[in-house]
Structure 1
Amino acid sequence: MVPMHADARGAAATAAAAGVLVASDLDRTLIYSNRALALDVPDRLAPRLLSVEVHDGKALSFMTEQAAALLVELAREAWLVPATTRTLAQYERINLPGPTPGWVPAYAVCSNGGQLLVDGVPDPDWRAEITARLAAASAPLAEIVRHLALCADPEWTHKRKTADDLFAYLVVERAELPDGWIDELTGWCAERGWTVSLQGRKVYAVPAPLSKSAALAEAVRRSGATTVLAAGDSLLDADLLLAADAGWRPGHGELADRGWTAPGVTALDEVGVAAGEEIVRRFLARVRGEAPAPAVSPAAF
């Protein structure tokens, strides 16, 4: 395991003393692609953005500079646990701002719970545990992949992918999906212990036992946190929100489209990158036991 930098240990110790763990989805919750920014103000009033993901020399994902500054404070005062459906390779492209140079979260969840990273390194014990759970409760990945190959028309399917040998997804032309196709796929998968989620142009098929909340529970156990906060925008984040003492969802995304909410979960009005900033603001206020500060008007930038 890669040893933790001394300054990072100090940040982790401060978080441990606080006893609060903050678990957040990344894409369209904490960070935003160009397509998802939803900047509905004149260009001259748009907030300054910080790139937090680069791939093949191109900036792919962003936060507002204010959100980044708040995130640095949050990482000093709580355990900050990214919880993403991204694979390890996709997650490693992200460089979140932190309290020290080279900072990485003490814990992170990748592949929708299939990977638990400790100081940036996949934990083999957790991977063995989740592999056993999947074998006991879900149809094999190969069966799902075969079905997707048969039922997803090449006319509107751009890519078919598997992730970490754990789940499958399609990249589709969303506007061309046949009426009822998602519902039919959802029912077929449910009979085999799998769930389906439509996020943007991606259709995910994920084994039911493969959940962010399961990996979160392990991170909570190891960290000793006594309070858990969470945020997310998709159906794959619902279990994460339900596992937390308090949660937030943005005004966009799969959960918002369905009007989903639950006790302890706040549905925000903000959408796009502004929602990401508001989520970090709410996290930090809750960690500090304060009322959230008002959002800064774009005109102030």
Structure 2
Amino acid sequence: MLFASDLDRTLIYSKKFISQKDERIRLVETKNSKEISYMLKSSVEMLKELSTKLLFVPVTTRSIEQYQRLKILEKEIKPKYAIVCNGGNIFKEGKLDEEWKRLVHSKFDDTCLGLKEIRSEFNKLRLDINIKKVRQVDNLFFYCVLHETNPGSILKELTEWAKKNKWTMVLNGRKLYFIPNHVTKNRAVRYIANKEEAKKIITSGDSLLDYCMANISDIFISPSHGQINSLEDIDKTNVKFTKQSGIFASDEILKLVLREVKQNKVISHNL
């Protein structure tokens, strides 16, 4: 069994989601001595337990550098694989999977406009949108940090522009992502599942960038506070939503996975 989970706003939460100090919560990420992200202590313990019973794969849109700030994964959870850059890179036992990296980068020439070219075209657009900054992620995609959370009608125009160039545009909070169509979380998860011959796949995530994983999953679990819960035209056959929201949804997600493990009588997975 394989369990692949998004991190931010699914298992890990930033300071703005923590209303007050709580002894059940622990700090899991810092940057320049600044506190960044937190997890429930109970979620950490459940992840440790799960990692002895199945193949746990963290999946994130974070860059390599951002992912590596999460020392708790490296030192305590110790996953065999980790998917970063929205599926653009895979770590196996701490090293980048060069086979996957070559496969992803080869598709830029074959299937879509390259990163340099799409950035150039984007800069030519006359946008009625207030952009605070633009960030590029490991030579794979880029995103804009906006001053406002609702940029209005310009989104439709940008969606069509991205689609024409075989890229995908997704708004998540104040971050406006532009990602190649072939750089997706579900493709990276499927690649690992095939290598490990996983017979059952459970995934979880909160955002539109996570929902593609539902297409390859027996069960997809989403926290009730996420973007996915607000979608109307989705197939919810294999989708479960938590009753809890915020950081406490992480415990509920992991309890659901543990229940599946027990029902399937999974004893252990040699990692």
Q: TM-score, normalised by structure 2?
A: 0.89
Within 5 Å, give how 1:250-261 maps onto structure 2: 250-259=223-232, 260-261=234-235
For 2:73 and 2:140, locate their aligned partners in 1 and report how far apart those are by CA, in whole Å: 29
For 1:228 and 1:186, locate their aligned partners in 2 and report how far apart those are by CA, in whole Å: 30
Q: Secondary structure at the match of 2:72?
A: coil
Deviation at 1:97, TM superposition (A): 5.5
Within 5 Å, give how 1:81-96 maps onto structure 2: 81-96=57-72
Aligned residue in 2 for 1:60: 36
Q: Secondary structure at the match of 1:236?
A: coil
> Does the 8 Å CA contact 1:134/1:210 hold for their aligned counterparts?
no
For 1:51 and 1:69, locate their aligned partners in 2 and report how far apart those are by CA, in whole Å: 14
Aligned residue in 2 for 1:28: 9
Q: Give yes or no for the alignment of 1:263 onto 2:237.
A: yes
**For each residue in 1:124-144, what CA deviation from the matched residue of structure 2 results, as whole angstroms up to 9, or x when unmatched?**
111001111232111111232
Q: Secondary structure at the match of 1:77?
A: coil
Deviation at 1:153, TM superposition (A): 5.6
Q: Secondary structure at the match of 1:105?
A: coil
Letter in 2 for 1:85: T
Deviation at 1:174, TM superposition (A): 2.4
For 1:65 and 1:154, locate their aligned partners in 2 and report how far apart those are by CA, in whole Å: 44
RMSD: 2.1
Aligned residue in 2 for 1:236: 209
Deviation at 1:283, TM superposition (A): 1.3
Aligned residue in 1 for 2:173: 200
CA gap of 1:229–1:271, structure 2 versus 1, over 3 A, is: same
Unmatched 5+ residue regions in structure 2? Answer: 265-271
Identify which range, 220-229 or 158-167, moves more after superposition. Answer: 220-229
Within 5 Å, give how 1:266-281 maps onto structure 2: 266-281=240-255
Aligned residue in 1 for 2:267: none
For 1:268 and 1:102, locate their aligned partners in 2 and report how far apart those are by CA, in whole Å: 26
Q: TM-score, normalised by structure 1?
A: 0.81
For 2:55 and 2:256, locate their aligned partners in 1 and report how far apart those are by CA, in whole Å: 15
Unmatched 5+ residue regions in structure 1? Answer: 1-19, 291-301
Q: Secondary structure at the match of 1:234?
A: coil
For 1:148 and 1:160, locate their aligned partners in 2 and report how far apart those are by CA, in whole Å: 11
Q: Secondary structure at the match of 1:278?
A: helix
For 2:168 and 2:42, locate their aligned partners in 1 and report how far apart those are by CA, in whole Å: 36
Deviation at 1:157, TM superposition (A): 1.2
> Does the 8 Å CA contact 1:68/1:97 hold for their aligned counterparts?
no
Deviation at 1:176, TM superposition (A): 5.8
For 1:120 and 1:148, locate their aligned partners in 2 and report how far apart those are by CA, in whole Å: 35
Identity %: 30
**For each residue in 1:46-94, what CA deviation from the matched residue of structure 2 results, as whole angstroms up to 9, or x when unmatched?**
5621112121112211111111121111111110100111111110011
For 1:273 and 1:256, locate their aligned partners in 2 and report how far apart those are by CA, in whole Å: 16
Deviation at 1:263, TM superposition (A): 1.7
Letter in 2 for 1:35: K
Aligned residue in 2 for 1:138: 112
Aligned residue in 2 for 1:4: none
> Does the 8 Å CA contact 1:198/1:254 hold for their aligned counterparts?
no
Deviation at 1:103, TM superposition (A): 4.8
Aligned residue in 2 for 1:8: none
Deviation at 1:209, TM superposition (A): 0.7
Q: Which runs of 4+ in 1 moved over 4 A?
A: 150-155
Q: Give yes or no for the alignment of 1:112 onto 2:99.
A: no
Deviation at 1:224, TM superposition (A): 2.1
Could you tell me which of 183, 190, 208 is aligned with 1:217? 190
Paired residues in the alignment total: 263
CA gap of 1:96–1:228, structure 2 versus 1, over 3 A, is: farther
Identify which range, 221-230 or 250-259, moves more after superposition. Answer: 250-259
